[in-house]
């Protein structure tokens, strides 16, 4: 059980086909175990295909279409990685708007691996301290972020990590930031 209780807190998980499934399931389970209520938000209805590296994994049921979702209905946002997942989400206007809403409302956002690509296109990384999968560092730096190679970086409610090996630290900081609530420095 987590040292942080987030009982009753609603947490959106934004993803699409190609998600790295452990980067969805591990934080999802951590949120549930801490008393939170996770919701899978996606650009399409139905089922999404998860991946374990390059191999097809499980499928996941979508709870809510991103175009129907509002940041105001949630307490926090998690953006899992996966190259295909992140590449498709980053160009989806509804996904960009949904992410920006969390920053505008000063709510915690956590993103791992390739997930921070979406943060770039949502226009929310300039001046922020972040990490990601190493291949995204140039993109993040070019967008104005301060990138570093650390297992987890926390900046005013924004939690980022590099890869699945960082999930224990990522999950711990995710729950801590949700428990703390809104952060004045978390802005778009």
The Cα–Cα gap between 41 and 123 comes to 20
Range list of β-strands (E), the chain: 10-14, 19-20, 37-42, 47-52, 55-61, 64-65, 76-79, 109-112, 129-130, 146-147, 152-155, 158-161
106 is annotated as an active-site residue:
no
165 is annotated as an active-site residue:
no
Q: Which of 113, 134, 165, 183 is catalytic?
A: 113
Q: Which of 92, 114, 134, 183 is catalytic?
A: 114
User: Helix/strand/coil (H, E, C) string of 97-143?
Assistant: HHHHHHHHCCCCEEEECCCHHHHHHCCCCCCCEECCCHHHHHHHHHC
**Residues carrying an active site annotation:** 113-114
């Amino acid at each position: 059980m987590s040292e942080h209780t987030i009982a009753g807190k609603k947490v959106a998980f934004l993803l699409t086909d190609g998600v790295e499934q452990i980067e969805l399931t591990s934080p999802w389970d951590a949120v549930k175990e801490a008393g939170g209520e996770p919701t899978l938000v996606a650009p399409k209805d139905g089922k999404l295909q998860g991946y374990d590296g390059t191999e097809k994994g499980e499928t996941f049921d979508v709870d809510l279409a991103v175009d129907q979702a509002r940041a105001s209905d949630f307490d926090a946002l998690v953006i899992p990685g996966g190259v295909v997942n992140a590449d498709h989400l980053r160009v989806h206007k509804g996904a960009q708007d949904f992410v920006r809403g969390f920053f505008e409302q000063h709510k915690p956002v956590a993103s791992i691996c390739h997930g921070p690509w979406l943060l770039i296109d949502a226009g929310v990384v300039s001046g922020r301290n972040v990490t990601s999968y190493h291949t995204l560092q140039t993109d993040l730096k070019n967008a104005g972020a301060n990138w570093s190679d650390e297992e987890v970086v926390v900046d005013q409610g924004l939690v980022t990590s590099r890869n699945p090996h960082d999930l224990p630290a990522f999950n711990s900081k995710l729950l801590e930031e949700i428990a703390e609530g809104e952060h004045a420095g978390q802005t778009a």
